[in-house]
């Protein structure tokens, strides 16, 4: 069975909870944003490297490898994460492929044309533009980035699947989110409880002021955590 891990964001306890829950998974698709904003970037990547997995790049890996690409408000967190990981590993992660395809399924971080522009649970006006890079024979598009787990049909019957975020859910539910692809391609979304407050506290302790926005999002399971 294929497991889908997206947007771990250096939240090791959330990742460990998911892996303990996923005893029926024998291989993984890792969808990007592995370390940035979390308290355990090194430990998280070490744990992910133990898995039988295919990796793709998220905007977090791109920003960490090219800090000038990152928005100014997050550059402090980017610098801290890069320092923890070291230049060599940051370069390796920044060079990961942006997409991966298996049969009629295409995997990306946010959308095929961008690692920061993505799909929402309800169709938006730009959805056709976001799908412009999808080959005609693709039937399922798997992505993350928004930290909102859902599955729905899009233009031309294309199935959109967002597994949700392991380390920083933003749908009001603190539980770590992941998904599995079972027999016949059926997708099952799963949630796993863990001590989210301890993870938020660790971000504050280890990253400091630069990590406060991320700590609040983990704490409240909401994007607008001001």
Q: Is residue 135 part of a domain?
A: no
Q: Which pair of tokens denotes residue 18?
A: 């998911």
pLDDT, tens only, 25-35: 999 999 999 99
Asked if pLDDT for residue 226 goes beyond 60, the answer is no
Residue 13 CA to residue 197 CA, distance in Å, equals 11
The answer to whether residues 64 and 49 touch, using CB atoms and an 8 Å cutoff, is no
Task: Give the percent of the chain with pLDDT over 70.
Answer: 99
The reply to whether 111 falls in a domain is: no
Q: Is residue 65 part of a domain?
A: yes
For residue 221, give Cα distances in angstroms to 25, 83, 101, 118, 165. Answer: 26, 27, 31, 19, 10
pLDDT score recorded for residue 149? 97
Q: Is residue 142 part of a domain?
A: no
| Domain residue limits at 210 | 2-98+164-220
Number of domain units in the chain: 1
Find the mean pLDDT for residues 140-160: 96
């Amino acid at each position: 069975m294929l497991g889908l891990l997206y947007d771990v964001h250096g939240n090791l306890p959330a990742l460990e909870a998911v892996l303990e829950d996923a005893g029926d998974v024998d291989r993984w698709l890792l969808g990007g944003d592995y370390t940035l904003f979390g308290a355990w970037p090194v430990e998280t990547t070490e744990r992910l490297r133990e898995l039988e997995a295919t990796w793709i790049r998220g905007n977090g890996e791109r920003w960490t490898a090219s800090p000038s690409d990152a928005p100014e408000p997050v550059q402090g967190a980017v610098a801290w994460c890069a320092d923890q990981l070291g230049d060599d590993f940051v370069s390796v992660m920044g060079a990961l492929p942006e997409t991966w395809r298996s049969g009629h399924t295409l995997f990306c971080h946010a959308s095929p044309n961008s690692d920061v522009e993505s799909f929402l649970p309800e169709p938006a006006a730009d959805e056709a533009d976001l799908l412009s890079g999808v080959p005609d024979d693709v039937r399922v598009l798997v992505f993350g980035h928004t930290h909102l787990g859902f599955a729905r049909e899009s233009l031309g019957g294309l199935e959109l699947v967002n597994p949700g975020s392991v380390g920083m859910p933003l749908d009001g539910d603190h539980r770590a989110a992941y998904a599995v692809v079972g027999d016949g391609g059926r997708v099952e979304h799963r949630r796993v409880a863990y001590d989210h407050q301890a993870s938020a506290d660790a971000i504050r302790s280890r990253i400091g002021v630069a990590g406060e926005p991320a700590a609040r999002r983990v704490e409240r399971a909401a994007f607008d955590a001001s």
